[in-house]
Amino acid sequence: MRKIWILGVTLALGLALAGPAFAQGPIVHTVQPGENLFRIALHYGLTADALAAANGLGNASLIYVGQRLTIPGGGSTASPAAPAGGTGVGTRHVVQTGENLFRIALRYGMTTQALAAANGIVNADRVYVGQQLVIPGQTNAAPPPAAPAPSGQTYVVQSGDMLSAIALRYGVSTWALAQVNNIRNPSMIYAGQVLKIPSGSSAAAPPAPSSPPPAPSAPTGGRWIDVNLSTQQVTAYEGSTPVRSTLASTGLPYTPTPTGQYQIYSKYFSGDMAGPGYYLTGVPYIMNFYRGYSLHGTYWHSNFGQPMSHGCINLPTPEAQWLYSWTAVGTPVHIHY
């Protein structure tokens, strides 16, 4: 009888302790400024497709600040990173199963090269579960509002800095900061470099996508696509007449986009893409033009106008959809600086 009484008390205590877990409702995420469906899905250990399906989203790129998203299956509620204990170096991220350096860098809005450099990683493919990575330029405190930079101010680049983050700090555009410092590739800055900070009032705006550059010497008739690596701009032409233009993101310095004359040789509505340091599912509107290189839609970043890719030409998904419908197999592609 005593054994039965002890067993009953133990069972009741166990159920009482377990109760709160069963009482919890579904996890709801409120969309914050700068977030997209891909990054939110990464945070909870899901795919963007699963998160979109759970919330009835027909277009994964159309979410808005303040929108409440239900996380299917509860996701993984672990914090994406824990702050470094008293080190003053910023945030630390503990590598989880299935993660790679490329995906971790995407989560924190930086390049794989910057994250590798900040952690002394020579081979970007060599990270392991449980490894602690320093996330440069990340802190838990919200940054103060950016104010227009005074004229004549300079900034010395620190290890792990990104041009976009420096521009944000001083309240100027990345394009204006690159222009005033004669920086051709915004990804190519180095520790110790002295940057001139343009004044907030005089910072020039980047060229509007709706005002494409004059047609270069390329195909003279029919439909063709111009890719300008210097301006990070893709323009659709009919003969010498531009019909649509958009900012894009082409290859990084170590994974450049090839230049030359090509043709679209195959098209896929959607497909998976993989390579050293990355694996992306459901990449939309793929238009292959040379070996494994293609123009395609992009859901994992919105930093168009800056080199970001492994050689392919990243396009905003709505622009890729339009180009996919407009382009036929055999359409010439002219890529140049």
> HEC string of 99-158?
CCHHHHHHHCCCCHHHHHHHCCCCCCCCCCCCCEEEECCCCCCCCCCCCCCCCCCEEECC
Who has greater pLDDT, 85 or 65? 65
Q: Residue 219: what pLDDT?
A: 62
Give residue 184's pLDDT band: very low, low, confident or very high (50, 70, 90): low
- CA–CA dist 134, 13 (Å, integer): 42
Q: Residue 18: what pLDDT?
A: 41
Q: Residue 137: what pLDDT?
A: 65
Structure-token pair, residue 59 = 């277009």
Token pair 């809005």: residue: 109
Structure-token pair, residue 38 = 């891909």
**Average pLDDT of the chain to the nearest whole number:** 74
Task: Inform me whether the pLDDT recorded for 25 exceeds 50.
Answer: yes
40 beta partners: none
Q: Give, for 71, the enclosing helix (H) or strand (E).
A: strand 68-71
Q: Residue 187: what pLDDT?
A: 61
Q: Give the mean pLDDT of 282-306.
A: 91
pLDDT digits (tens, 9 = 90+) for 127-183: 777 777 888 765 444 444 444 545 568 888 876 677 767 777 777 777 777 778 887
The strand order across the sheet containing 332-336 reads 241-247, 233-238, 223-228, 332-336, 260-263
pLDDT digits (tens, 9 = 90+) for 84-120: 333 334 577 888 776 777 777 767 767 777 777 777 7
155 beta partners: 195
Domains, the chain, ordered by start? 82-135 (3.10.350.10), 143-206 (3.10.350.10), 223-336 (2.40.440.10)
- CA–CA dist 330, 225 (Å, integer): 11
pLDDT digits (tens, 9 = 90+) for 187-243: 667 777 888 888 753 334 444 444 444 444 556 679 999 999 988 999 999 998 899
Who has greater pLDDT, 143 or 317? 317
